[in-house]
Amino acid sequence: MQKTLLAGLLGLSLLAVPLTAQAKRDPKQPVVKVAILLDTSNSMDGLITQAKNQLWKIVNELSKAELNGRAPRLEVALYEYGNDGLPVTKNYVRKVLPFTTDLDRVSEELFRLKTNGGEEYCGAVISDSMKSLDWSGSANDMRAIFIAGNEPFNQGGVSYKEACAGARQKGILVNTIFCGNRSEGANSYWEDGAQLAGGRFLVIDQDQRVADVPTPYDKEISDLGVQINKTYVQYGPQGGMGAARQESMDKAAAGAAPSVAANRAASKATSNYSNSNWDLVDAKKEGTAVGKISKEQLPAEMRSMSEKEREAYLDKKRTDREKIQKRIQDLSKKRDDFLAKNQKAQGKDSLDSAVLKTIRVQAETKGYKFAK
């Protein structure tokens, strides 16, 4: 049974400001860590297109999760492999991004990926992701790898058996996504890799066009997704780049399809869409002491304000944002209901439903619950 790809999910763009001004992470907050390993050889253009267009659906699904009443923090890492443009000394493997909460950065890098012929070494990229990425955390954290490709899983000098068994020992589930038919994927060891790592074996048609089902709510949701940008307050050396990236990814989503733009806008109304490294509203929410940020790092309109005026200014931006987010959430619920009633029009075998189910099942084994 073939399905279309929803490669879910999401480096690190650290803010170069004094440590005392950086947002503090809640050590008790559960974390969902997902590493996406994409084959970028010649035949994988469709895979990349599906990944970049469906990223926001995964984000929205994970926004419904909670553990002991707390929403998890989503961290996504991205790898590419099997591309002739990558060094043979690295087994044609490149870490595109380490684990990050910067979803716009993930989207940007997905749009930058280009295909080129190469050797696809699944064992090597899994092994590298385990060694190079920071998988540390608490026992409640969910850790998963999604690797997608279409060549035999056993290629290269690094044993996929050892890599997958090693991942399982560390509590990292490896889900394999074979681009082709099920029997071919099973015969070329993709199913074996998933079984060794305690993950799921999925099969997709990477060239299948994902159905874009229009809804009466798409335009208003998308418009609100652009309007909410006015509530972001740039600061520090990352401010201008962050705002430009946000706008650029809005345009990329709008150019892909109305549903992609709506899904991206819906993500902006979730807790997983946080830009504390360049937006003062999010930074303050996450614990940054605004009063300790130097005047030079503030936007021009805030520099002449008193500390009290700055706090009031940011509180107003936060209130405006929350109103827009509430409206997006209400409309998104209606949109979800509309799509659920028109499920047949979307196609029964889309991978978005398969991958979302995988994430749900694997998160629920860790005690997570998902709102309906």
pLDDT in tens, 120-173: 999 999 999 999 999 988 888 999 999 999 999 999 999 999 999 999 999 999
Per residue in 221-271, pLDDT tens? Answer: 999 999 999 999 999 999 999 999 999 999 999 999 999 999 999 999 999
Inside any domain, residue 26: yes
Quote the CA–CA distance of 86 and 94 in Å, as a whole number. 7
Inside any domain, residue 170: yes
Inside any domain, residue 252: yes
297 with 192, same domain: the answer is: no
Inside any domain, residue 333: yes
Percent of the chain at pLDDT > 70 equals 89
140 with 237, same domain: the answer is: no
Inside any domain, residue 7: no
User: Which of 53-67, 174-188, 275-289, 317-331 shows the lowest per-residue confidence on average (mean pLDDT)?
Assistant: 53-67
Buried b (16+ CB within 10 A) or exposed e, 164-184: bebbbeeebbbbbbbbbeeee
191 with 268, same domain: the answer is: no
Domain encompassing residue 317: 218-341
Mean of all residue pLDDT scores within the chain: 88
Counting the structural domains of the chain, the total is: 2
Inside any domain, residue 3: no
Per residue in 260-299, pLDDT tens? Answer: 999 999 999 999 999 999 999 999 998 888 888 999 999 9
How many Cβ atoms from other residues are within 10 Å of residue 334's Cβ? 13
154 with 224, same domain: the answer is: no
Residue-level pLDDT at 224: 98
Inside any domain, residue 2: no
In angstroms, how far is CA 314 from the centroid of its own chain?
A: 27
Q: How far is CA 206 from CA 45, 270, 329, in A?
A: 8, 29, 31
181 with 53, same domain: the answer is: yes
For the cut 70, the answer to whether the pLDDT of residue 352 exceeds it is no
The one-letter amino acid at 233: V
132 with 223, same domain: the answer is: no
165 with 149, same domain: the answer is: yes
* CATH code, domain carrying 85: 3.40.50.410
User: Which of 68-72, 140-144, 199-203, 352-356 shows the lowest per-residue confidence on average (mean pLDDT)?
Assistant: 352-356
202 with 279, same domain: the answer is: no
Please, which residues have CB within 8 angstroms of residue 179's CB and are 6 or more apart in sequence? 5, 39, 43, 44, 47, 148, 149, 150, 204, 205, 206
366 with 256, same domain: the answer is: no
Residue-level pLDDT at 356: 78
318 with 268, same domain: the answer is: yes
Alpha helices in the chain (DSSP H): 45-62, 103-112, 122-132, 160-169, 182-187, 190-197, 218-227, 239-256, 258-267, 280-285, 307-341, 343-346, 351-364
232 with 352, same domain: the answer is: no
Inside any domain, residue 12: no
60 with 89, same domain: the answer is: yes
Quote the CA–CA distance of 230 and 268 in Å, as a whole number. 13
